Structure 1
Amino acid sequence: MTKKLIKDYMLITFGIILVALSVEYFFAPNKLAAGGVTGIAIVLNNLVPNLSVGVITLVLNLALFAAAFMLIGGNFGAKTIFASLGLSVVMWGIEKFFNPFAITTDLVIATAFGTIISAFGMAIVFNCNASTGGTDILAKILNKFFHINIGKSLLIVDIIITFAAAMVFGLDIGFYAMLSVIILGITIDRFIDGFNSSKEIVIISDRYEEISKFILEDLDRGCTYLKGVGVYSEKDIKVIYTVIGRSEFIKLKEFIKGIDKRAFITVRESYEVLGEGFMEIE
């Protein structure tokens, strides 16, 4: 097993622990069935209290994986199986040994903090090219048999779950669950963007040789010369293009400031960079 793979599994484990904590200490005690298999488990736990949310989640995930293998071929990676079943095991462990309770009974606070913690954990899992399974499988089944795209299928599944929560726990809790689903989708994307964001830099300077050397040797990053022509001077110029991390940009900016205060620099946020030195193309 490579170092990267070990790192991925460690991050996935950390991510599912965060999701489990959000469910056990914010969602489940306040009956907030905020979509997903854990949402179904919270609703079913109210109907069958002898079965814990963790146990129900495990049974549902096993049933969904079995259905997936029979209906859509079960083309799931090892990371997804690990994350999905691992989440159920962690939840069961919390219920078995830590006697979880509601950290807050204020539904606004529980919805906000539970959703943020869960979104951060799920973003870590997704960023490692895995998923927590569950309703993703239901969405794929809907996609195969009813030709509904995956995004809409996930939304339909989550709406059905939150509707069930409203029927079982009341409209107020149902609306909070729906709010959590909406915030979760938006927040996960923002967290993933934050994990992978880099700075896309374009530099025009007469000292381009020194700057490019600094990027290559001191920052250990690549850069490219783009050919340009100054409109006013009509002279050929070399434009430096590079993609670097935030901390590296601070160093680069200080270096340029020290050798050419007249340099022209543009900076753009890049939310996904694939290739050598960054994330692998998978």
Structure 2
Amino acid sequence: MTEFTLKSGIFISFGAFLQGFAMAMFLFPHDIPSGGAAGIAILLNYFLHLPLGVALWLFNILVLAIAFKWLGWRKAVATISAITITSLTISILETSNLSAAMGKSLFADLVIGAIIFGFGVGFLFRYGASSGGMAIVALLIEKYRGKAPGKSMFYINTSIFLLISVIKDWKIILLAIFCQWLSTKVIDLVYQYKKPVKKLAKAS
């Protein structure tokens, strides 16, 4: 079981902030879906006419309930904290209108946003939390099947984006898939990074 310390709490908070910063400043101004949970919310809104906010939180509550049972309460609590920090970051940045300064270059914002988002989620995974939504499903797959969470999240989210393509502009879907591909590369890089071990010189 993951031991939570002051260090892990700081990195989880930092990762959650980076995730929210990337969404608010680089991805949302271009209407690029940041992940599968947002995609599920769009589908629930389209088919069941649920408000997007309600649909998103209902889905997160469902997967967090699964997290409590299979991932343990420590990781679930860490995830709830991460989701709260991410939401607050997005709300503050949107309220301050700082994101209005972005959106000048679609490709540059897409690449920068995907990289920052990947670092944020990577820190969350590395220190025992997740970004919520499909990230929890990816962690379950990593826990029981040994698959890298970033790669699993890419395949899951891509499938959801393809479903959304029937009700949204296909160009946005392609941008979302590219964002997921790039960010998951960064996620796995951060999550699987191992500090180099210094070898002691053998006495001659």
Would the TM-score normalized by the shorter structure come out above 0.5? Answer: yes
**Which residue number corresponds to residue 261 of structure 1?**
none
Please give the secondary structure, in 2, of the residue aligned with 1:168: coil
- Residue 84, structure 1, aligned to residue 83, structure 2: yes
Structure 1 alignment gaps of length 5 or more: 202-222, 227-237, 240-282
- For residues 25-80 of structure 1, give each alpha carbon's deviation from its aligned partner in whole angstroms, at most 9, with x where no partner exists: 22222121243324545x4698679756xx764443223213555xx546242323
Structure of larger gyration radius? 1
**1:6-85 counterparts in 2 under 5 A?**
6-41=6-41, 43=42, 51=52, 57-69=56-68, 73=70, 75-76=72-73, 77=75, 78-85=77-84
1:107 aligns with 2:106: yes
Task: State the alpha-carbon separation in 2 of the partners of residues 68 and 21 from structure 1.
Answer: 25
Question: Matches of 1:197 and 1:140 in 2, distance apart?
Answer: 22
- C-alpha change, 1:73 and 1:49, in structure 2 (3 Å) is closer
* CA distance in 2: counterparts of 1:11 and 1:116, whole angstroms: 17
User: The residue matched to 2:72 in structure 1 has which SS?
Assistant: coil
Give the aligned CA root-mean-square deviation in angstroms. Answer: 3.7
Aligned residue pair count: 194
User: Counterpart amino acid of 2:173?
Assistant: G
- Overall identity of the aligned pairs, in %: 24
The offset of 1:148, in angstroms, is: 7.7
Deviations 1:139-173, CA, capped at 9 Å, x for gaps: 57889xxx987557534421222213433332222
Q: Provide Cα deviations, 1:155-214, integer angstroms capped at 9, x if missing partner.
A: 4421222213433332222111111111111122334466x432534xxxxxxxxxxxxx
Q: Distance in 2 between matches of 1:192 and 1:141?
A: 15
- Displacement of 1:113 in angstroms is 0.8
Q: Is 2:32–2:176's contact at 8 Å kept on the other side of the alignment?
A: yes
Q: Quick check: which one's strand share is greater? A: 1
Of 16-25 and 56-65, deviating more is 56-65
Instruction: Extract structure 1 runs of 4+ deviating beyond 6 A.
Output: 140-143
2:198 equivalent among 197, 200, 214: 200
Change (3 A) 1:158 1:190: same
Query: How far apart in 2 are the matches of 1:24 and 1:45?
Result: 22
For residue 118 of structure 1, report the CA deviation from its aligned partner. Answer: 0.6
Instruction: Considering Cα pairs closer than 8 Å and 6+ residues apart, tell me whether 1 or 2 has the greater RCO.
Output: 2
**What displacement does 1:123 show?**
2.0
Gaps of 5+ in 2: none
**Cα displacement (A) at 1:93:** 4.1
Q: Per the alignment, in what secondary structure is the counterpart of residue 62 of structure 1?
A: helix
Q: Quick check: 1:127 aligned with 2:126? A: yes
